[in-house]
Amino acid sequence: SLTIADFDEWISGKYRKMEEGPLPLLTFTTAPYYDQKPGTSGLRKKTYFFEAKPCYLENFIQSIFFSIDLKDRQGSSLVVGGDGRYFNKSAIETIVQMAAANGIGRLVIGQNGILSTPAVSCIIRKIKAIGGIILTASHNPGGPNGDFGIKFNISNGGPAPEAITDKIFQISKTIEEYAICPDLKVDLGVLGKQQFDLENKFKPFTVEIVDSVEAYATMLRNIFDFNALKELLSGPNRLKIRIDAMHGVVGPYVKKILCEELGAPANSAVNCVPLEDFGGHHPDPNLTYAADLVETMKTGEHDFGAAFDGDGDRNMILGKHGFFVNPSDSVAVIAANIFSIPYFQQTGVRGFARSMPTSGALDRVANATKIALYETPTGWKFFGNLMDASKLSLCGEESFGTGSDHIREKDGLWAVLAWLSILATRKQSVEDILKDHWQKYGRNFFTRYDYEEVEAEGANKMMKELEALISDRSFVGKQFPVGDKVYTVEKIDNFEYSDPVDGSISRNQVGGGSLCGSVVNEPD
């Protein structure tokens, strides 16, 4: 409740702000950096680049604003949030001040600067924003000695396509100045609208602090059968789950949706408080970095387990006794059981898609169901193009990313609710569902090798040798005996993608060798 003293303080602050007059907008000169080229998921660097290098953050943010025509910027809405890693709040304070000085009319920011990447995509689409700025380095470690990242999403809610990221990069190499409103201060912890009068502005600049979870939770309620899921998680024969948020952004979402709303016991979810350094761990949901969850699941006390990355767009699924669901198989199983999700009963299924490095498990389901299948380069923006053209409903990547056309980002919690919906419908264990799937469609085996913190010279040499191997046509058809089986190389290539929507060509993503031979559990 508001006391008289609180009211007096609020009134005096309100009138003091008005008496101070409009806040000044300033322009500062700067010098360009030549290393601000965004990758498939934005600009990621060691944190000290953004924190310690003069104007490094300001240059990149200004380059984003300059990439948007002034007439489109003026009065528009922009969504801002991050995964809570170190430097998140400081960066948001700067972004708010620069957005005000660059003509943005309204900022929508998650409380305390917290928004999962799927939630940002959801809110962009809901309020018809011009785009969003996401502060995350995804599954990379956080902290002063960790990584930080900035990602720009466009008005469809998805990552900026190459034409826009290339434009941002070109601007960053020639930038000479940035605009900022340094006296503008926002309280990120207080829900509601805050308005500011600025010099040379006819309308006040609005900052709206929103509940980090609510808009996203509302969207999920319209996709899944929450009554069936509540019965699954809290009924008399409830499914025992273990969810590890890995101290990333998704913790509050798990607590609100799975525990408070769907009735899973509070101790079902662990590591749900977002921490600036993710508790000193690597927030990457795989068998290596989510080893604590794997060991817990191996005890057999829980029927279903899941982990998420720092910004909530990746997921790992485990069954009882630590049964691992390969991400390539995960999207295939969801595809095969897609009508367990009410959303698809309403919309129908337009198509499936996977990234090139992902196994062909999804292809088998597409072939059996006669649904179109697209193979794209790595990067969710390629899926977004297909979704915007109404060609795609479900997609996934081997890098633990799964999603659908409900937003334009991969979505870790959506994938978990999709799996829980399948479990509620099938009334089988995770392992039995996978084994039935392999029996029906066949099984694809898949390997991935990660080389971390290696010297560029050696890595480039290895890639050149791979490219030489690809160009040797005699390699296709080569046979490799393994035990009592013989595997034949069916295809190896330097992957090239022609976008069926806009005709753009993406080249030079080296494709994995496809081995064909005996396959375990090949159906009759």
Residues carrying an active site annotation: 138
Instruction: Tell me how far CA of residue 376 lies from CA of 170, 381, 395, in angstroms.
Output: 25, 10, 10
Q: Which contiguous run of DSSP H or E holds residue 462?
A: helix 456-471
Q: Which contiguous run of DSSP H or E holds residue 456?
A: helix 456-471
The answer to whether the beta carbons of residues 149 and 49 sit under 8 Å apart is no
* Separate counts of helices (H) and strands (E) for the chain: 18, 23
Instruction: Tell me how far CA of residue 403 lies from CA of 312, 394, 418, 503, in angstroms.
Output: 12, 6, 10, 24
**Neighbour tally for 421: CB within 10 Å:** 24
The answer to whether the beta carbons of residues 384 and 395 sit under 8 Å apart is no
3 state DSSP class of 397: strand
The answer to whether the beta carbons of residues 62 and 23 sit under 8 Å apart is no
Give the C-alpha separation, 246 to 272, whole Å.
7
Tokens (6 digits) for 7: 């009211």
The answer to whether the beta carbons of residues 108 and 157 sit under 8 Å apart is no
Cβ burial 465-502 (10 Å sphere, 16+ → b, else e): eeeeebeeeeeeeeeeeeeeeebebeebeebebebeee
Residue 388 φ/ψ region, left for φ over 0, alpha for ψ in the -120 to 50 degree band, beta for the rest: alpha
Quote the radius of gyration of the chain (alpha carbons, Å): 24
Tokens (6 digits) for 48: 């000290």
Q: How far is CA 167 from the centre of its chain?
A: 22
Tokens (6 digits) for 153: 């999403």
Give the C-alpha separation, 83 to 42, whole Å.
14
Tokens (6 digits) for 203: 């309308």
3 state DSSP class of 439: helix
The answer to whether the beta carbons of residues 257 and 218 sit under 8 Å apart is no
Would you give the DSSP letter of residue 53? S
